Structures are given as structure tokens and as C-alpha cells.
């Protein structure tokens, strides 16, 4: 019985292949012609540009720019041809004919790509049962009705906007199409908020004794004059040497965003630690920060954690307390380093008493309150396993460079999205993969029709592509140009 089924499948597949071959013969011949025309155009352009370079009319930069322009034109032509050929495949599918009827042909659409604007034509259908209308080839290829840009171009715009202002991002990426800064912002909004846990942990749980968490926040100007405070938390396993002088944090994982409730952020961090590490093997987690209440609240959420005051902020308050009496600075540091809390308090009282100016006296009182309120965090700095905190530098590199170093006014949503995107990139995330993952999910939910290309058809497509390359004159006539060699390598592959 099994042998009969197998034989039946073979015959059915053979019949489908034969019909598909007949339907695609004309399209294949047309594709042959188009590919040959494209290759000939590229060769002609390269030869002309090479001649200009030899005659020193333009240098190598001019040669590169001219070739790039030609390749972009080729990219537009090939993309247009690929979309329209796919539309032909849908049109000739027997399954489609059973359920959908053609309402109109050659309907025009334009979409911006990395090569430039692609203008193509596709077919409009009506479902026989439901009466629904759809451009089936667009749906399957992931092109939505209102799309003006391809996802790969959108991803490039977002990637650049992670580093640069929206307007500069548009100018840098969209050389071949006109895109505004507003379009870049809208593209980021379309992508939506990238969650900190979107990058999944692939390794098994690690067994380590000591873990480190560092936290701080940036201060970003709001469009209405107030301040937005995106937060940054990162977890790591200590430092490792890179070369002779540089260090880097080992297995660093970052979290950021604008949070109304600090517990939402700490819950994300706690879940990550639980998923990435064997908590039974961890003996201690050092949580470093500047003494802000939201950072200290992390102790309540992170099991086995102790708070450590960031040395950078302690130094700021020591300087604040002794700036007008510099001979007291070293004395105050000596008491701190020896962990003599009573002497620290006594010295600060004397400084307050000896300070006459009220504004300076207030500054010393603030410093005293800060140091004494964070005394336990200061004591923990001197534990042997503690390695220090670099939160200030990370804030500058990860958040401030994009959000607060320029005189810009941000919306809260914009700050939140850019902050999350920057740590997403720092964590090794790829914008294109995230964009396509979300788009694919939407398409699967909305798709009206699914194409089932059988294995026999896939083989047919591969065979046809090989035949096209073999039929390109530059490959077969023995010419020894660089392009000819390159195409022969493609043929061999």
C-alpha cells in the first residue's frame, strides 16, 4: 500500500512540474533577455568609467560613485522584475483560480528601497466566497496596502536613527529616495517599543559566585521644558582584560527605558538573572548606584544583593563639602577610607560650623546628609570582591550621546523608544530581524491566501536560474573581464 502511495505522489508531482514548466517557459525567456540586458549595461558602464579613470577625467572616487549608481539602477530593475514574476506565479496557480477571480491587472504601485524607488504592476483579486478584495502577491511578499518603504530600508533608517538625529539619518541612508526626518520618526513608531527581554538566552544557566549590577539615569529635556529620566541598568560578571591597558565588562546585559514604576524595571532584571544564572550557586550580587531611591529599591527585588554607593558620586559630595576648605579634603577621605563614621560626622559638623556663607553651608549639609545616609553603601565599597562602578561612563555612551548631549526637545515616547533601541543594539540585537519578525506575525494574521510551492517547483526555479546565467553571453564567449570571471564563479556555485 505504501509503495502505491509513493508512486502516486511521484506521478502527481511530475504532472505539476510539467504544467509549471509550460507556464514559465515564456516568463523564463523574458527573464533571460532582461538579465542579459542588465549585465551588458553594467559592463558597458564599467568600461566607460574605467576609460574615464585612465584618462584621469575622474579619480577612483568618481569611478566608485558611477558604478554604485549603475548597480542601484540594476537593483531597481531586478526588484521590479522579481515582484512582477511572483505576481505571475500567483496568477497561474490552480489553487488561486479555485478561490479568487481577477478583478484588474497591471495595477501600479511604488515602494522605496535601498536601490531607489521601484515602480511595479500587480494583479487585484476578489474572493469568490467572501467577496474580499486583495493584492495577493503584495500580501505574501509582506507589502502592506499603505507601505511606501521596504522593510530593509526602514530597518536601515532605524539603525541610523539609533546613532544620529532623524534628519541626518534620512540624509545618510536615503541617497536614492526622498525621505524626511518625520518619516524616520514614524518608522520608529511603527516598529514600536522594543522590550528589554526580546533577545532570548540561548545558553544553559551559568554557575558563578559573584554578580554585579550597576544603575543610573540620564536627564533629557522634554519638549515642554520639563525633564525625562530614562533609566539604565546592566548586569555583568566582572571585568576581563582586552589588550594591555583596556578592560571590558564580561557578559554584560543592559536594560533601559522610561519607567513610571521602578519595580517594572527591576522585575525585568530579576527575571533575566533567574533565567541566565543558577541562583543557588550565586553567593553575592553587588548593586551599585548613586543612592537614588529607585536604585536602592532594587535590593528588594534582587535576591542576595547588597547596595554599594558609586565612588564617582561619593567623590562629588566630598568635593562639595570641602571645596571652600581644601585642606580638609584629604582628612575627610582618610576617615572615609578607614570607615570611621563618627570622625566623618564630626569633621563635617566642624566644616558646617566654620562655614559663614549660607549657600556653602547648605551645600555642606547636603553632602553630610548624603554621605551618612549612604554609609552602608560606602562600607560595601571596600569588600574584596567589589570591583567598582562605571555607570557614569555607560550613561554617557549609551544614553547621553544620543538623547541629552544635543539641545533637543524630546517626547517621552521618543526617549523611551530610543533608549530601548540603544540597549537592544548594545545587547547584540538586529533591527532588521526584529522588524521582519513583527511584520511576519502581522502578515500571517492578515494573509488572505497562501502559496504552496512544492519541492518540484523549487527545483524548477533553481534550474531556470542556472540556465539564465549560462545563457549570459559574457560567461560563454570566453571574455576575460573581471565581471566575466565573477559571473563564472556564480555559475560554478
Lookup result for grid cell 487585484: 124
Residue 481: what pLDDT?
47
Residues in the chain: 493
Residue 245: what pLDDT?
74
Shared domain for 227 and 369, answered yes or no, is no
Shared domain for 32 and 138, answered yes or no, is yes
Shared domain for 19 and 144, answered yes or no, is yes
Q: How far is CA 121 from the centre of its chain?
A: 32
Residue 451: what pLDDT?
55
Q: Which is nearest to 214 in space by CA: 169, 156, 255?
A: 255
Neighbours of 14 (CB within 10 A): 11
Determine, yes or no, domain membership for 336. yes
Calculate the alpha carbon distances from 403 to 88, 161, 226 in Å.
Answer: 48, 11, 14
Shared domain for 129 and 7, answered yes or no, is yes
Strands 253-257 and 284-289: unpaired
Shared domain for 113 and 89, answered yes or no, is yes
Determine, yes or no, domain membership for 165. no
Determine, yes or no, domain membership for 319. yes
Among residues 338, 373, 388, the one where a domain terminates is 388
Shared domain for 277 and 336, answered yes or no, is no
Residue 490: what pLDDT?
43
Q: How far is CA 261 from the centre of its chain?
A: 26
Determine, yes or no, domain membership for 59. yes
Q: Report d(CA 213, CA 269) in Å as an integer.
A: 9
Calculate the alpha carbon distances from 250 to 1, 241, 387, 409, 420 in Å.
Answer: 60, 9, 12, 35, 21
Among residues 402, 426, 450, the one where a domain terminates is 426
Shared domain for 361 and 241, answered yes or no, is no
**Number of domains into which the chain is organized:** 3
Shared domain for 243 and 317, answered yes or no, is no
Contact 127, 98 (CB under 8 A): no
Shared domain for 121 and 16, answered yes or no, is yes
Determine, yes or no, domain membership for 443. no
Q: Report d(CA 346, CA 216) in Å as an integer.
A: 30
The pLDDT profile of the chain, 493 residues, written as one tens digit per residue, is: 444 334 434 443 443 344 444 444 555 555 566 667 677 777 777 777 777 777 666 667 777 777 778 788 888 888 898 899 889 888 888 888 888 999 999 999 999 998 999 999 999 999 999 999 999 999 888 888 888 999 999 999 999 999 999 988 888 887 778 888 999 999 999 998 899 999 988 889 999 999 999 999 999 998 877 899 999 999 999 998 887 778 889 999 999 999 999 999 999 999 999 999 999 999 999 999 999 999 999 999 999 999 999 999 999 999 999 999 999 999 999 999 999 999 999 999 999 999 989 999 999 999 999 999 999 999 999 999 999 999 999 999 999 999 988 777 899 999 999 999 999 999 999 999 998 888 777 767 666 666 554 444 455 455 544 544 454 444 455 545 444 444 444 444 4
Determine, yes or no, domain membership for 213. yes
Rounded to 5 degrees, φ, ψ at 393 are -65, -40
- pTM for this predicted structure: 0.78
Q: Report d(CA 253, CA 270) in Å as an integer.
A: 12
Q: How far is CA 153 from the centre of its chain?
A: 13
Name the grid cell of 370: 548624603
Determine, yes or no, domain membership for 177. no
Determine, yes or no, domain membership for 72. yes
For 225-326, strand residue ranges (E) read 227-228, 231-236, 239-242, 246-249, 253-257, 284-289, 305-309
Shared domain for 283 and 318, answered yes or no, is no
Shared domain for 332 and 242, answered yes or no, is no
Structural domain span for residue 233: 199-305+412-426
Shared domain for 16 and 83, answered yes or no, is yes
Residue 284: what pLDDT?
96
Q: Report d(CA 388, CA 214) in Å as an integer.
A: 9
Burial class (CB in 10 A: 0-12, 13-18, 19+), 258: buried
Amino acid at each position: 500500500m505504501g509503495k502505491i502511495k509513493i508512486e502516486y505522489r511521484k506521478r502527481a508531482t511530475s504532472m505539476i512540474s510539467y504544467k509549471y514548466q509550460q507556464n514559465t517557459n515564456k516568463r523564463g525567456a523574458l527573464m533571460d533577455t532582461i538579465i542579459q540586458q542588465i549585465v551588458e549595461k553594467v559592463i558597458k558602464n564599467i568600461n566607460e568609467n574605467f576609460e574615464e579613470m585612465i584618462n584621469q577625467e575622474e579619480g577612483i572616487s568618481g569611478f566608485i560613485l558611477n558604478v554604485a549608481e549603475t548597480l542601484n539602477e540594476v537593483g531597481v530593475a531586478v526588484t521590479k522584475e522579481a515582484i512582477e514574476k511572483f505576481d505571475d506565479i500567483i496568477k497561474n496557480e490552480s489553487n488561486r483560480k479555485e478561490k479568487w477571480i481577477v478583478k484588474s491587472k497591471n495595477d501600479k504601485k511604488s515602494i522605496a528601497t535601498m536601490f531607489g524607488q521601484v515602480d511595479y504592476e500587480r494583479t487585484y483579486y476578489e474572493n469568490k466566497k467572501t467577496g474580499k478584495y486583495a493584492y495577493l502577491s503584495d500580501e505574501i511578499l509582506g507589502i502592506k496596502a499603505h507601505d511606501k518603504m521596504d522593510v530593509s530600508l526602514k530597518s536601515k533608517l532605524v539603525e541610523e536613527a539609533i546613532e544620529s538625529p532623524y534628519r541626518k539619518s534620512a540624509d545618510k541612508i536615503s541617497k536614492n529616495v526622498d525621505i524626511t526626518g518625520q518619516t524616520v520618526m514614524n518608522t520608529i513608531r511603527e516598529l514600536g517599543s522594543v522590550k528589554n527581554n526580546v533577545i532570548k538566552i540561548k545558553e544553559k544557566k551559568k554557575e558563578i559566585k559573584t554578580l554585579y549590577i550597576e544603575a543610573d539615569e540620564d536627564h533629557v529635556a522634554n519638549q515642554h521644558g520639563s525633564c525625562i529620566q530614562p533609566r539604565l541598568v546592566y548586569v555583568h560578571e566582572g571585568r576581563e582584560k582586552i589588550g594591555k591597558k583596556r578592560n571590558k565588562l564580561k557578559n554584560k546585559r543592559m536594560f533601559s527605558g522610561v519607567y513610571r514604576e521602578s519595580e517594572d524595571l527591576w522585575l525585568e532584571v530579576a527575571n533575566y538573572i533567574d533565567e541566565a544564572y543558577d541562583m543557588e550557586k550565586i553567593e553575592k550580587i553587588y548593586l551599585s548606584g548613586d543612592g537614588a531611591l529607585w536604585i536602592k529599591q532594587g535590593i528588594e527585588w534582587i535576591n542576595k544583593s547588597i547596595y554599594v554607593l558609586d565612588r564617582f558620586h561619593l567623590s562629588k559630595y566630598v568635593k562639595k563639602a570641602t571645596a571652600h576648605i581644601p585642606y580638609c579634603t584629604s582628612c575627610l577621605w582618610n576617615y572615609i577610607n578607614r570607615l570611621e563614621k563618627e570622625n566623618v560626622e564630626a569633621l563635617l559638623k566642624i566644616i558646617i560650623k566654620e562655614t559663614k556663607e549660607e549657600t556653602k553651608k547648605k551645600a555642606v549639609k547636603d553632602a553630610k546628609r548624603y554621605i551618612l545616609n549612604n554609609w552602608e553603601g560606602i562600607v560595601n565599597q571596600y569588600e574584596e570582591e567589589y570591583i567598582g562602578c562605571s555607570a557614569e561612563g555607560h550613561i554617557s555612551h549609551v544614553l547621553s550621546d544620543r538623547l541629552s548631549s544635543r539641545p533637543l526637545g524630546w517626547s517621552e515616547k521618543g526617549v523611551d523608544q530610543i533608549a530601548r533601541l540603544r540597549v537592544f543594539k548594545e545587547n547584540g540585537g538586529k533591527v532588521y530581524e526584529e522588524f521582519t519578525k513583527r511584520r511576519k506575525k502581522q502578515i500571517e494574521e492578515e494573509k488572505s491566501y497562501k502559496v504552496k510551492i512544492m519541492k518540484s517547483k523549487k527545483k524548477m526555479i533553481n534550474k531556470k536560474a542556472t540556465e539564465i546565467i549560462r545563457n549570459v553571453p559574457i560567461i560563454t564567449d570566453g571574455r576575460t573581464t573581471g565581471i566575466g570571471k565573477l559571473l563564472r564563479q556564480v555559475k560554478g556555485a
